[in-house]
């Protein structure tokens, strides 16, 4: 991908205020461990995360706290900001009255308007405060644990969450059965692809916009396949339980992302009959 760092105007940096507080001290919990706890909780119906929450309170988010970071992580911050700017510029063109959102970057745990969330939750959109929440460690998990490396794979995840913001603005974001959840998530995949369609147009980089390069779309499709419900269930339990699907199968996620990439048309993202 070709992109240019901006002024970070699309970022709310809460990395300096994240952590678990236990017995008066902050205890860092690894992203991998949290993911395993969350997966076991989801698959078994037992809230293993309560083992953490029973004696812990989330440390207050303090965006003024110093952020211990590395040059590589700061480049990730610039990347997220650049993607958010480009994705939202596209939606301002496609959706009259589009209102921009921001990404809240955090580490380990954060209190959002939708409640407390751990890194194990993965990137998420909170309709109540209309913010996208992201722990940058998720990108490493995608690459190393899920086999979905590459910048466009990461951009797809960001665009998917902004897709939920588009749904919120359009009045179609809700909650209900697993089946309705799957339709919502697949539509967000398609909306992410709509942005990708425009990002693939040649000559954008010369204008300071994000531009896809050869092989980028394949990275995105590989990421969609890597995070399908059936694949994740098979990785963690060795079996597939369709009644617990929340985002759709690998094949479905690839299909809807590809539909957005191919058409560039939000109207092609109607998953109501899916």
Rounded to an integer, the average pLDDT of 170-184 is 73
Strand boundaries in the chain, DSSP class E? 11-13, 20-22, 25-27, 56-58, 103-105, 109-112, 115-118, 124-126, 131-134
pLDDT beyond 50 at 50: no
* Pairing verdict, β 20-22 and 56-58: antiparallel
In percent, how much of the chain has pLDDT > 70?
Answer: 80
CATH 3.40.50, domain 11-269, yes or no: no
- Residue 176 or 243, more confident: 243
42 CB neighbour count, 10 Å cutoff: 17
Q: pLDDT tens digit string along 71-102?
A: 999 999 999 999 999 999 999 999 999 999 99
The predicted pLDDT at position 19 comes to 44
User: Does position 44 have pLDDT exceeding 70, yes or no?
Assistant: no
- Percent of the chain residues past pLDDT 90, beyond the cut: 65
Matching residue, tokens 């300096």: 16
Give the chain's mean pLDDT: 84
Q: What one-character-per-residue DSSP string does 119-183 give? A: GGG-SEEETTTTEEEE-THHHHHHHHTSS--SHHHHHHHHHHHHHHHHHHHHT-----SHHHHHH
User: How far is Cα of residue 195 from the mean position of the Cα atoms in its chain?
Assistant: 15
Parse the chain into domains and list their residue ranges.
11-269
Within 8 A by CB and 6+ apart from 238, the residues are none
Query: Per-residue confidence at 112, pLDDT binned at 50, 70, 90?
Result: very high
Per-residue pLDDT tens over the stretch 208-259: 999 999 999 999 999 999 989 988 889 888 889 888 888 999 999 999 999 9
**Least confident range of 27-41, 141-155, 239-253:** 27-41
């Amino acid at each position: 991908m070709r992109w240019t760092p901006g002024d970070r105007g699309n970022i709310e940096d809460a990395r300096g205020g994240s952590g678990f507080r236990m017995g008066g001290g902050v205890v860092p919990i690894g992203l991998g461990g949290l993911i395993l706890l969350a997966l076991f909780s989801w698959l078994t119906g037992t809230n293993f995360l309560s083992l953490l929450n029973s004696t812990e309170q989330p440390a207050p988010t303090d965006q003024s706290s110093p952020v211990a970071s590395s040059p590589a992580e700061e480049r990730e911050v610039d990347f997220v900001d650049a993607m958010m700017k480009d994705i939202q510029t596209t939606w301002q063109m496609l959706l009259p009255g589009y209102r921009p959102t921001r990404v809240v970057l955090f580490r380990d745990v954060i209190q959002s308007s939708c409640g407390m969330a751990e890194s194990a939750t993965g990137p998420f959109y909170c309709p109540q405060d209309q913010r996208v929440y992201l722990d940058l460690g998720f990108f490493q998990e995608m690459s190393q644990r899920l086999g979905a490396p590459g910048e466009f794979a990461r951009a797809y995840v960001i665009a998917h969450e902004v897709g939920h913001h588009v749904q919120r603005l359009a009045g179609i974001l809700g909650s209900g059965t697993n089946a309705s959840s799957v339709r919502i998530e697949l539509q967000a995949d398609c909306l992410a692809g709509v942005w990708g369609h425009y990002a693939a147009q040649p000559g954008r980089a010369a204008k300071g916009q994000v531009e896809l390069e050869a092989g980028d779309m394949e990275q995105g499709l590989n990421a969609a396949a890597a995070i399908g419900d059936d694949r994740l269930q098979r990785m963690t339990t060795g079996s597939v339980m369709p009644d617990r699907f929340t985002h759709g199968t690998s094949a479905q996620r690839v299909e809807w992302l590809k539909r957005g990439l191919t058409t560039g048309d939000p109207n092609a993202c109607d998953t109501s009959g899916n």
